[in-house]
Amino acid sequence: MIAYGENIKIFCGNSNPEFAQTVCKELGIPMGKSTVKTFADGEASVSLEETVRGADVFLIQSTCKPVNDHLMELLVMIDACRRASAGRITAVIPYFGYARQDRKAKSRDPISAKLVANMLTAAGADRVLTMDLHAAQIQGFFDIPVDHLLGNPTFVKYYLEKFPEDTYNHDEFVVVSPDVGSVARARAFAAKVHMGLAIVDKRRQKANVCEVMNVIGDVKGKTCILFDDMVDTAGSLCNAANALVEVGGAKEVYACATHGVLSGPAFERITNSAIKELVVHNTIPLPENCPCDKIKQLDVAPIFARAIAHVHGGTSIADLF
């Protein structure tokens, strides 16, 4: 528990209230009183039920599905705090939606991640706190400070406890990137858990559909840990896992990803895949009575609580990495 003055306030929207409550518990401060609701026609409505004048305000809201509803809630919350004369407004966005639209993949494409960054700034946010952006360069889309937390340390701790080096030979383990784009983050993770690295080469025909082509690296007879930043429909992840077993001859396959978006057929695909266990963070809440018992969730609310403490205190967050 951390002692604070009266000039810090934490509010949350409807995307992940349990996460926000855990952050407040870690910090030892109460959740700010507010009402975030939707009118009959779908408009977002926010009412702050306590003063924020001159306060250091943190608004916790993942822009997960329904993405547009939660994004609009966040924008209206920021505007409400700005008009109520908040001293500083930090948008705490554990999962930043639209991050995959970070460039023009073809002619006349929008760059929606930049648009969202502009909207947050225009609404009145002074700072953004987020975790594992799909593309780290999105930080440059903002004209305000961005604190970019990493989920990597939590996974490192989890797997070193699950497969301790004094019990398991890490030469028989390999970290696998499910595509070429995730190689950098997979390499950093592999170095920290002292395991080898492999890559699944795939060809994506269209959005959310991919064809696995080849396994680059030695995975035969080894335990594989697929490492990525998010799981959406789980097509890429499950195809990669199946390829590791069927093509590469892997012994067994685990998987981890920071953000469990888990849309459409994701649960069914994971259940029927070669993946033995999928570990995700609670940046996005899992549905009640999760239909897939292979999925495990790790709590990163304490990391965000520590980051908020550093931001509020004006100290470096370097120790979180």
- Which of 212 and 151 is assigned the larger pLDDT? 151
pLDDT band at 1 (very low <50, low <70, confident <90, very high): very low
The pLDDT value recorded for residue 205 is: 58
pLDDT at position 31, please? 97
pLDDT tens-digit profile of 152-202? 999 999 999 999 999 999 999 999 999 888 899 999 999 999 999 999 987
Q: Which of 202, 206, 220, 222 is catalytic?
A: 202
Topology classification of domain 8-150+301-320: Rossmann fold (3.40.50)
Question: Between 112-123 and 67-83, two packed helices, what is the crossing angle to 10 degrees?
Answer: 30
More confident of the two residues 318 and 9: 9
Q: Tell me: pLDDT of 2 over 50.
A: no
Query: Domain-by-domain residue ranges, the chain?
Result: 8-150+301-320, 152-298
152-298 has which CATH code?
A: 3.40.50.2020
Tell me the angle at which helices 152-162 and 183-193 cross, rounded to the nearest 10 degrees. 40
**Closest to 44 (Cα-Cα) out of 123, 127, 126:** 123
Q: 202 catalytic, yes or no?
A: yes
**Matching CATH topology for 8-150+301-320 and 152-298?**
yes
Residues 6+ positions from 42 with CB-CB distance below 8 Å: 69
